[in-house]
Amino acid sequence: MKSSFTSARWNNFFANDYSPLEWTSVKISISSIVCFFSIYILYHRSTQPFPSGICNYINCAYVATDAIRLPVSVLLVLLSLMYISEVQMIFSTLLLFVLAVLIFSLDESNGNPAENGILALVFLAQFSAYLQNRFNAQSNLSKNRMQFSAQFFAAAYTLSAISKLHVSGFAWFTDDAPKFALEVMRVFNSVYVTNGLNEYSHKGLSVASFIIAHPLFTKLILGGSLLLELCAFSLMLNKKTAFVYSFLLLAFHAGIFYTLNIFFPTITLPLIVFFINPLYWLLSGAGYVYATFVTPKVS
């Protein structure tokens, strides 16, 4: 443990390489997130009223029945431990991917389309990297298992931009911009009808009025966010660009949260884990403190 901590250097983060500590931090963070969301779904979704994806062919709700959900949760945790411990990675990543797809499809089949982001796909990306390494030992596993995952993030944002341009074209941020105020009203009033608190209705009206009163500002903000999504392929270019770009995307999500009161944890949290990796910074900081102040210096 000591060598792992002390070998972590702050400036290594931008070296276009991934240290074992970075990889371990990502594994711990991402498996915790997947386990949390999966177990939440297993205990909150018992039927599939709007079957979608794989649930059209098999009854996904079976994994959320009283008798099955506990063993499935335990299996998820065991697989995550195998994954963190780097045991049988081809097997563990593939099985984690299959289980995650099954569980998230169940959530999608409850009227939550596209809300589970790309959580399952990071395991598929890592499975691909390990499989490639199995057949070609020359492949750079430490980079591929991270870079392959980054491609799915870039694709998700790009798809969102393509969808806007395809359906609304440039009008999305020009002529249609004032109509954004109506979406704001809908989202804030949805919170109001949920909890009955008037303040949400007032806040919605206040944000919507601001949007209508400042059309140029709204167009700039919407145009900027579309451009940000369009250029999401920057996440694939190199580590430094991805690090900076992920902050821009986080600012974009913060803006969505402020104006629409919507938070996308299944996209935002993995984004933070893969491109900013706070656990790595935390462990590196702890390692630095340990090496500087705790370990006795040899003169």
What's the min distance (Å) between Cβ of 54 and other proteins?
7
Q: Does 181 bind other proteins (CB under 8 A)?
A: yes
Asked if 189 interacts with other proteins (CB under 8 A), we say yes
- Nearer CB in complex with other proteins: 12/158: 158
Task: Tell me: does residue 136 bind other proteins (CB under 8 A).
Answer: no
Applying the rule CB under 8 A, the residues between 14 and 53 that interact with other proteins are 16, 44, 49-50, 52-53
Q: Does 250 bind other proteins (CB under 8 A)?
A: no
Q: How far is the CB of 197 from other proteins (least distance, A)?
A: 8
Structure tokens at 240: 């430094």
Single out the residue of 62, 233, 281, 290 in contact with other proteins (rule: CB under 8 A).
233
Strands (DSSP E) along 208-299, which ranges? none
| 228 touching other proteins, by CB under 8 A | no
65 in the Ramachandran plot: left (φ > 0), alpha (ψ -120 to 50) or beta? beta
205 near other proteins, rule: CB under 8 A: yes
Please identify, using beta-carbon distances, which residue of 196 and 296 lies nearer to other proteins: 196
Q: Restricting to residues 257-286, which ones interact with other proteins according to CB under 8 A?
A: 260, 262
152 binds other proteins (CB under 8 A): yes
Retrieve residue 222's tokens. Answer: 């919407």
Selected binder of other proteins within 70, 74, 75, 182 (CB under 8 A):
182
Distance CA 17, CA 7 (A): 14
Eight-class DSSP state of 296: P
Site size toward other proteins (CB under 8 A) is 79
Smaller CB separation from other proteins, 155 or 276:
155
Among 20-28, 79-87, 88-96, 161-169, the segment contacting other proteins (CB under 8 A): 161-169
Q: What does the alpha-carbon distance between residue 26 and residue 24 come to, in Å, rounded to a whole number? A: 5
- Containing H/E element for 199? helix 198-213
Residue matched to tokens 């177990």? 39
For the beta carbon of residue 71, count every other beta carbon within 10 angstroms.
10
- Give the chain's largest Cα–Cα span: 71
216 near other proteins (CB under 8 A): no
CB 188 within 8 A of CB 200: yes
Closest CA relative to residue 252, chosen from 273, 224, 271, 230: 224
Closest CA to 214 of 188, 184, 193: 184
Considering the complex, state which of residue 212 and residue 248 has its C-beta at the smaller distance from other proteins.
212
